Structure 1
Amino acid sequence: MQLDLSGHHVEITDAIREYTNTKFGKIKRHFDKVIDVHVVLSVEKLEQKAEATIQLNGSKIFAEDTQENMYAAIDNLVDKLDRQVIKHKEKTNAHR
């Protein structure tokens, strides 16, 4: 899994990078066919926004979350993506 992390109006520190890597490891444990992950962290006034696109075999999954804290936004984003990846995994297993 290749993780691409970028920031829009925010500097990506080592702490944020490490936190994001550990959180996205949760998705890798549930579904091992994740090819690429593109994460964009941005700040707009008082809102911290995290959005991500995951590329799987044959499909893409997108989610975003906005919070007052960047770490909370990353947590909620990973939870949303995890639910979507598990749903995708169940669909592909059911059709085979």
Structure 2
Amino acid sequence: MQVNISGHHIDVTEAIDGYVKSKFEKLTHHNDLITSINVFLTVEKLVQKAEASIHVSGKDIFADAQSEDLYTAIDALTDKLDRQLIKHKEKLKSHR
């Protein structure tokens, strides 16, 4: 699994990088077919945004979240992606 983290108007420090990677490693528990993850962090005045796209078995899953705190936005983002991955996995099982 390859994780790419980039930022707009923000420096991606080692602390942020480690936090993001630890959160996204938990997503592999639901689906181990994840090939790549692209995370994009932005700062706009008082709003911190986190966006991510995941490439899973031929499909791209996208989610975004925003909050006043960057770490809260990352938590909300991983929760959304977790729900989407579970739903995608259930669809794959039901069609076979």
Q: TM-score, normalised by structure 2?
A: 0.98
- Alignment identity in percent? 53
Q: Counterpart of 1:13?
A: 13
Amino acid at match of 1:37: I
CA distance in structure 2 between the aligned counterparts of 1:66 and 1:2, rounded to whole angstroms: 24
Gaps of 5+ in 2: none
Cα deviation for residue 15 of structure 1 reads 0.4
Q: Counterpart of 2:79?
A: 79
Moved over 2 A (4+): none
Q: Counterpart of 1:36?
A: 36
Q: TM-score, normalised by structure 1?
A: 0.98
Amino acid at match of 1:72: T
CA RMSD of aligned residues (A): 0.5
Q: Counterpart of 1:56?
A: 56
| Number of positions where the alignment pairs a residue of Structure 1 with one of Structure 2 | 96
Gaps of 5+ in 1: none
1:93 aligned counterpart, secondary structure: helix
